[in-house]
Amino acid sequence: MRNTSFHAILNSDDFWNTPYLFTQLSDLLRLAVVYHSGGLYTDTDILALRPFKNLAKNYFHALDNDANIPSNALFHFERHHPTPKNFLEFLADTFSPLISRLWYGTLGPFGLMGFFRSNGCAFRILTPQNAPAYHPDPTEPIGIRMSPLNYSAVNDGAFNGTHCSAETSGRNMETSNYHDVEEEDRALARAFSSDNFFSHEVQSMTGRRLALFMLLFTLILWCAYTIGRGVNSVMG
């Protein structure tokens, strides 16, 4: 972590004063290890149903078939690829000691969602319609993976702008400009030759707006809990 902007935060008391310390350390260390060494990271509760062959070199994956947020439970990057490092820099710039104590996953999926959005990525998560509730069908493509376009090293640098790349597993999807919805739809149709897919438009918040939302949500929960205890005391 010494070569990342998060190093100073690790040396402060703000980072360590949280009930989610183990999770936050795990979220950071996986990024640092993959950045310095390269390779695939996967949580231990992920079961591989097929060999990891012909996959893109740099990607994150979606949390599950119904989620509107990406996940850091499985990702792959080449050694010293800029995406993990820039993600760590984003986490350092948006780190809030208060939110890290109140909210789970601020350096994981929620942080990753903010990172994509901060890079101008109006990306989509596409999954098979006939997939089970939480895991893809073994006979279907693994799913679409996402990487910030302006940090992407795939397709020989054919991308431009600050959109997100989406690559299918085991198939080649033509590059499409995400400002051009019609071209995107045509590219997806050529890639999958199927109508059995749907998409979720990802809407997310970053930085101060995300911190404010989390704070307000926590306050609402606290008020509801306090009122509930008061009502129980009166009724008792």
Determine the straight-line distance between the first and last CA of the chain, rounded to whole angstroms: 54
In a 13 Å sphere around the CA of 34, the CA atoms on its Cβ side amount to 29
Residue type, 132: P
Looking at the chain, the whole-number percentage of residues with pLDDT higher than 70 is 51
Q: Do residues 224 and 90 make contact, with C-beta atoms less than 8 angstroms apart?
A: no
pLDDT band at 34 (very low <50, low <70, confident <90, very high): very high
30 pLDDT tier (thresholds 50, 70, 90):
very high
pTM tops 0.75, yes or no: no
Cα–chain center distance at 58: 13
Q: Supply 131's token pair.
A: 């997939």
| pLDDT, average across residues 73-94 | 87
pLDDT one-digit tens code per residue, 189-224: 333 332 332 233 333 344 556 667 777 878 888 887
Q: How far apart are CA 69 and CA 146, in angstroms?
A: 11
Q: So what's the pLDDT on residue 119?
A: 66
| pLDDT single digits (tens) 136-155 | 445 554 444 444 444 333 33
Report the alpha-carbon distance of residue 32 to residue 37 in Å, rounded: 8
d(CA 2, CA 24): 17
Taking only the tens place, the pLDDT of each residue in 38-68 is 998 988 887 777 777 766 677 777 665 554 5
Q: Which pLDDT value is given to residue 68? A: 57
